[in-house]
Structure 1
């Protein structure tokens, strides 16, 4: 069993190794940390940590590095996730508050997280699993060109340009707008997509083709809102940590590019929607990410399924900073989007 001091030694080893990428020896610990004991005593503590498979020797040197199990103990028992400073929180609010819509907000979010953590950042795009169609708008840009606008009750706006096979005047377009709102308004995205894709009774035969084209376009827009996808930034951060990976980093990048892999992994991390979840090393092996760690947290938008954001990096990660940043940004998104 590891003593309290032994756990503090583990904390020191993790922190020093993350900072320096160099194996940590007893002499270094004595010099850098105020344990008040000799290097020989620290070596005994390190021997016990090694017996518990919490640290290991990468080669014949006297230094030790954390194992996946050691990182897990560090995250579960030793990490003190301190709130960000007031200045850091203000910076988050200022940078994200300049976003004009959800797309820009999420693009800024991943850039911000990547900057704060020096890791690859990912945000799961919120899906409209329970959102409903608030309104359909049709804007004439030319006699045979219409902008279809689908507005959800959660505030998301989806726009798509449609080229018609025949021209349509403003009066006719207004009538079609009313008809499409009758069909789709108030329905969930899934139900609206089905209704708009089917036969529409009571259609004026003169405008049947135009109505059918517009309805199918809106159906595609509704389906698009339900698709799961990720926004990613900070790939250069991952490349800079290449020496932390025993194998080729290309395997890691390919796994990340397969967005379905991270989406499934995020799904497994959703046990406690409001906590910061961490998956370390071998815990991700089945996803082809056995040398990486993932830190994530959930954020909520009214009318949508709970989504997650987080970072992906080597197991030699600054967990304390990553967990604090991910938690702070997730809380900001939930609060801000909940008020919109």
Structure 2
């Protein structure tokens, strides 16, 4: 007997059009192949990349068909193909579903995927006692944890950070930076992690693990960081500068802050050299043309990476292990119902969220 369900999803048709709930009938017994699983989604998290994708959804690129939003998800497997060995029906899972202008996204009741093609998935760990349920907390971490994991050079093994390392984080209050400091301190045992944030965020960021904080609203940040180098670190510079907000203050004086390229130091960013307006982005303004030769020429002056998340099971496994060991907890800004998705996206656009915005679906 066929089981027909209604699959609702938050989607948009055009880049300027509204996000709206669409629905279609789904036959749970025929909607998957032998290599796929069907997940009943319980919660999904919003990410700025959703705004970026929509902003670039020009009709000549993406068409005018409905395009479902979101990537992070947590849920329960309700169907599996005969070739699936690592998961069973009833398993609680968490992951990040990589897609671009697709009909499927995680902001929907059901998600069908091939775990080999979408490897950022693992069985869902438990957080224990919390004001939020496990589905909400698990939906909040895959994309930001994976992005932080890459930012530390763990996926491509480009750096070997450890107890003798120092890291500077520009944008300490972002969700990615929250994940990065917890991985750095609790997994890699990094000696010193310095964060830049507002003075009002000091207490919260100290609790996450930052050793030193510099307030961008109280002093010139380059002066504050240089003071730390001279007084706290005896002149020792950083092995990694990680930027999650879009900043170029340190670039003109990079040699004062970053160790020499010969010591395999890195400057990594997920946004470029300037703050990106996600609803109307201009990528040309996020890069400094004058730096191109210093970064990529034959005599480059420092290692520079601007990157996006690469799907991988590796960071999902580590994330689940750290959660089980109480070494990592994602920060939650707010939780919305499926019907209140408009309010959730308004909160994301406000750029005031301190942590992840999660939508409860099931």
Q: Which has the higher helix share?
A: 1
Q: Same fold judged by TM-score > 0.5?
A: no
Report the TM-score when normalising by structure 1.
0.21
Larger-Rg structure: 1
TM-score by length of 2: 0.21
